[in-house]
Amino acid sequence: MASDSPQAAPRTLGEKVVTGGWISLAIVIFVSFCFSSEPFDFSTSLALLSLITFCAAFACWPSLFLNPINYRSLCDDVPRGSQIAMSAFVGLTVLRAFVELVA
């Protein structure tokens, strides 16, 4: 997902490397969770999903790590995929907090 605008320039090599790094991190988190010897725990699963959505948010927005941050228009520059993933991350984190409080 390069950008929401049809006139978007193709991704640079740096953006592709950053995107690949975040996707690799999400895969490593998932694989390590699958091969862990700990029993299934709902709270741990929510934490896993939170981390994976966090990785997805930054995989959709690699220019954050390559360009200087313009804080005044930071929210205007966030791609839609990153907005959705960050919303899911916050929602899963809040849900996990409630699960921890109840347990």
What's the pLDDT tens digit per position in 23-51? 999 998 888 888 888 777 788 888 888 88
Say what the pLDDT of residue 23 is. 92
**How far apart, in whole angstroms, are the C-alpha atoms of residue 63 and residue 67?**
6
Q: For the chain, what is the mean pLDDT? A: 82
DSSP tag of 35: T
Residue spans of the domains in the chain: they are: 13-102
> What are the tokens at 21?
């790094």
